[in-house]
C-alpha cells in the first residue's frame, strides 16, 4: 500500500485490520512526492507483487496515476494483479466533516482495494 499525507494513518490502520485476517500489507510512505523515491516504490512492488495506491485527491491527474505509470513501465512483470488506486470522489470537498468523509477515501475503501488485489488470482 503506497500512501502519503493524511492517508498514511488510514493505510496503517487498514494493514492492522487485515493482519487479523492473515493478509500482510506493507505500507509505504514516500515522504516526498517531488522528488519521488522511484527505487523504493519499485522495490516494494517487486517484493510484494501487489500494489494499492491511496491518495486523498481525485484520481484523474493525481500522483497515484503517475506512480502507477512508473510501476507499469518498470515492474509490470513482477505484478500478480492489476494496480488498485483508491482516490477521492470527483466532487468539490464540502466544509461539513460528515460530508467530507463521504468524498475522501476511508479505511473500508482501502480494505476493499487490498482484498481485490490479493484475491485477483483466486
Contact 46, 113 (CB under 8 A): no
Cell reading at 103: 468524498
Residue 27 has pLDDT above 70, yes or no: yes
Q: Confidence class of residue 24 from pLDDT cuts 50, 70 and 90?
A: very high
Q: Please spell the DSSP secondary structure of 35-102, one letter per residue.
A: TT-HHHHHHHHHHHS--EEEEEEESTTSHHHHHHHHHHHHHGGG-SSPPEEEEE-SSPPPSSHHHHHH
Q: Confidence class of residue 28 from pLDDT cuts 50, 70 and 90?
A: very high
pLDDT tens string 73-117: 999 999 999 999 999 999 888 888 888 888 999 999 999 999 999
Domains annotated on the chain, with CATH = 2-118 (3.40.50.920)
How many Cα atoms sit within 13 Å of 52 on the Cβ side? 29
Q: Confidence class of residue 122 from pLDDT cuts 50, 70 and 90?
A: low
Amino acid at each position: 500500500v503506497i500512501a502519503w499525507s493524511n492517508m498514511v494513518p488510514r493505510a496503517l490502520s487498514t494493514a492492522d485490520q487485515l493482519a487479523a485476517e492473515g493478509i500482510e500489507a506493507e505500507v509505504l510512505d514516500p515522504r516526498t512526492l517531488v522528488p519521488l523515491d522511484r527505487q523504493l516504490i519499485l522495490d516494494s512492488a517487486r517484493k510484494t507483487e501487489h500494489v494499492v495506491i491511496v491518495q486523498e485527491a481525485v484520481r484523474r491527474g493525481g500522483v497515484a496515476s503517475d506512480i502507477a505509470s512508473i510501476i507499469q513501465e518498470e515492474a509490470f512483470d513482477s505484478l500478480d494483479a492489476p494496480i488498485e488506486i483508491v482516490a477521492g470522489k470527483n466532487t468539490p470537498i464540502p466544509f461539513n466533516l460528515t460530508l467530507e468523509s463521504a468524498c475522501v477515501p476511508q479505511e473500508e475503501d482501502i480494505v476493499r482495494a487490498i482484498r481485490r488485489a490479493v484475491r485477483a488470482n483466486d
